[in-house]
Structure 1
Amino acid sequence: MAATPTAAQVRDPRSRSGATAEGRQRIRDRVTDALLHLQLLAVAVIVVFPLLWVVGSSFGPGGGLANAGPIPENATFDNYIELFTQTDYGRWYLNSLYVAVLNMAGSVVLSALCGWVFSRIRFRGRKPGMLGILVLQMFPSFLTAIAVYMLFLNFGLLDSLTGLALVSIAAALPYNTWLMKGYTDNLPASLDEAAALDGAGRLTIFRKIVLPLMRPMLTFVAITSFTMPWMDFILPRLLLQSSGKQTVAIGLFQLITDQYANDFTTFAAGAVVLAVPITILYIVLQRHLVTGAMAGAEKG
C-alpha cells in the first residue's frame, strides 16, 4: 500500500499560482520602469543637446557654423567680448528688459483685477464679456498686426518701447484674465463673506484676502508675461524702426542675416546671455508656484 503524503509535502496550487502572478507583476513593473526611464532619457537628450550646442558654440573660435558645436576646440571668450564691444547688444538688452518688465507688471495687475471682477462681482454684461474674452484668446496676436500698425501710426506711437509694451499687455490680457478668473472661482467665497461681515470693502477684500491667495497663479502670469516680449520678434520688427530702439531678438537676427555678417558664434553668445534673466526669474519665483495657498487659507 502506497504511503500517504504528509501535509508539508503537499503544495497548495493556489499559493503556487499566486506566487507566479506576483512574480509576473514584478517583471511588468520593472519593464514599465525601464521604459519610463528610457523615455525620460530620450526627452532629456532632445531638450539638453540643443542647449549644449548653443553654449558650446558661444565659446567656439571664429564665426562660421564650422566652429559651432557642443564641445568647441580652443574655447575662447572672444565672442562674448565682441558681443558687448562691437555690437549694440547692451542697448538691445536694456530695451528688451524695459519692455519685458513693463509687460510683466501691467499683465499681473490687470489680469488679477479683471479675473477677480469677473469671478466675484455680478454685473450686467458679465457673460457676454467673458464670451468675448474667450473668443479673443483664440486668435494669435500677429493677426492684428496691420490694425495695430495703423493705430500706432495715427496716435504717434511708432518706434516707442512703451507702446510695444502696451500692445504686449493687451495681446495677452484675454488669456490671462480667463486664467485668473478660473483660478479665483476655486477660492472659497466664505473668506470674502467673513471679511465683508467685519466691515471690509471690496478693494480691501481683494488686496488683503484674495490677492495673497492668487500668488501661485500670479507668479505663473509674471513668468509668462516676462518671457513673451523678451523673445518676441514679429511686433518689435513691425513697430520699432530706429536702431536705438531695437530689441535683442531683432539685433541677434541681424547678426546672422545681414549680407556682410553671419557671425553664428557671436549669435550663440547673445542667446546664452539672453537666457540669464529668465533663468534667474524662474529660480526666484518657482517656490511661489507650489505654495499651498488653499491649505493655508483654510487653516487661517
Structure 2
Amino acid sequence: MTKLTTLKQAVADFVKDGDIVYAAGFTHLIPFAAGHEIIRQGRKNLILARATPDLIYDQMVAAGCAKKVIFSYMGNPGVGSLRIVRSALEKGELEWEEYSHFGMITRLQAGAAGLPFLPMNQTGATDLEKSNPQIKRIPDPYGGKDVIVVPALNPDVAIVHVQRADKNGNAHLWGIIGEQKEAAFAAKKVILTAEEIVDESVIRSDPNRTMIPANIVDAVCHVPFASHPSYSQGYYDRDNEFYLAWDKISESQDSVKAYLDEWVFGVKDREEYWQKLGAEKREQLKVVSALSEPVNYGKY
C-alpha cells in the first residue's frame, strides 16, 4: 500500500473550505507549494494557524483564502511587517487569536496528547491575557501560584514539508526544527510534501531522524523545491532577495495580484514554478555538501 499522490489531489481530498489549516515549519521547510496549491483551488474561509505566519499566510490572505489567523509572531522575517495580514487585521476583515510562541506550541502539545488544555508558567505577556479570552488563569491544585492554561489545538489538516520520506509517510527532517512534529500529531489529517521519496530502508537506516511516522500521515507528495523562497537544509538555500522583494510587492493590491496571477495561477505545479525561476536563480540557491559524521547503530 502507498500513500503517494499528487499535491493537487491531496489538497482536493483533505483541505476543505472552513478548515483549520496548520502549515508547519520554522525558518526552513515552510510548505509554500502547498499554500500555492490551496490558493489555486480557491479554498475559502480557512482558519490559518501557524506560530510564525511568514509570507505563506500573507499570500493566502491576499488570495482571499482566510477568515482568521491564529499565531504567536507575525512578520516578514528579517525585513518587517506582513503588510497584507496586518492591513486586514487593522480593517477588521480578518479574525485573529494571538499567543506567545510557547503558548502556541503548548496548544499543539495538548492537542497531540488528547488533552483539553495544558498549563504553563505565567509570563510577562499579560496584555495577551487581556486581548485573548482563550488564555486563562487557574489555581494550582497543589497550592502554588496560579498557572496559565491554553486550549488544545487540533487542526483539521497539518501540512509538513520534509527532506525525505518513504511512500508510506515515514519522514526524515533535519536542520532547524519547528513545530512540525507537534502539529502533525495534533492534526486530524496530515499532508506530507517531500524533497525526495526514498526506499523504506533509507528511513530505517537512521530511525532517530524519523520525526513523522507513517501511521499519522494521510498523503505523501513528491514536491522538490516545495519550500522556496524559504529553504530545505541540504537541498537549496533561502532566497533572501525574494523576502526583500515581497516587502515591495505587498505595498499595493495591484502588484500582489500581478504576482499571484504570474507565480501561482500562472503555473500548473511546483516543477513549472521552479523552472520559471530561471537558471541563474536556481544556481544562486544551490548548496554545497556538508555531510555530518556517520552514526554507527551497530548490529547484533
**Taking structure 2 as the reference length, what is the TM-score of the superposition?**
0.21
Greater Rg, structure 1 or structure 2? Answer: 1
**Taking structure 1 as the reference length, what is the TM-score of the superposition?**
0.21
> By percentage of residues, which structure has more helix?
1
Greater RCO between the two (CA within 8 Å, min separation 6)?
1
> By percentage of residues, which structure has more strand?
2
